Amino acid sequence: MTKQPLVVFIHLDLGIGGAESLVLNLAKATLQQPSSDPNNSDDEPSGKISIYTTHCSPTHCYDEVKPPNGPLYPFVNVCGSWIPRKLFFGGTALCSALRMLYLTYRAIKDNPQANVFVIDVLPTGVPYLVNYCNVRAGILFYCHFPDQLLTMDTVNGERGSSGGNNSSNNGGFMIRLLKHLKRLYRGILDKT
C-alpha cells in the first residue's frame, strides 16, 4: 500500500460560496476511494486532509462541514477567530492578510509533514511557506476574484471619480485625504 498524501486546505472564511464549494469538492476528492481496482475492499481513502479557517458558522456553511454530522466536519480547524476582520478605520485587507498569515502559520505548525498546501483567495501565506518555512510540499494557490478589484473606488467605471467638486470645504479636503491614505494603504499591501 502506498503512503496517503496529506493535503492541507487554508481558506479564510468557510461560508457558502463558489470558493468554499471548490475547497470542499477538492477535500472530498482527496478523501475518495481509489477507483482503479473495483475488487479492492480496502476502506482506506486515497489521502488525508486538514482544513484551516478563521470562521465557520454552523448556520451559514455547507452541509459537508456542518457540525456535528458533516462528513468533513472532523477535518475543520477554526483558528484565529480572535483576529478582527477590520479595524475601526477600515483596514479589511490588512486584517485579512494577517488572518491568512496566522492560518498558514498554524497549518504548517500542526502539519509539518503535509504533501500539499491549497491556499485560497489571499496569497499571503505563499511567501511565508516558501521563504520562511522552506516547505518542500507542493503549494497550490487559487484566487477566484482579484483582491484589488474588491476595493477599487469606482463610479461609472472611472477610478476615483466623485459626484461633485467639494474641494473648497473641509469635507472635500477630508475625502481627498482619506482617498490618498487608502491609495497609500493599498499600494503598500499590493506591493508586498
Query: Within 10 Å of residue 181's Cβ, how many Cβ atoms?
Result: 12
Pick the more confident residue, 143 or 141: 141
Instruction: Pick the range with the lowest mean pLDDT from 18-27, 62-71, 149-158, 180-189.
Output: 149-158
Between the CA of residue 15 and those of 52, 63, 90, what are the distances in Å?
13, 10, 22
Mean pLDDT on 158-167: 43
Whole-number average pLDDT of the chain = 80
Between the CA of residue 131 and those of 93, 105, 127, what are the distances in Å?
22, 13, 5
Overall pTM surpassing 0.85 (yes/no): no
pLDDT for position 47: 83
- Which letter, b or e, does each residue of 31-62 get, where b requires 16 or more Cβ atoms within 10 Å of its Cβ? beeeeeeeeeeeeeeebbbbbbbbbbeeeebb
pLDDT in tens, 53-96: 999 999 999 999 998 999 999 999 999 999 999 888 778 888 99
Instruction: Pick the range with the lowest mean pLDDT from 33-42, 121-130, 158-167.
Output: 158-167
In contact, 124 and 100? CB cutoff 8 Å: yes
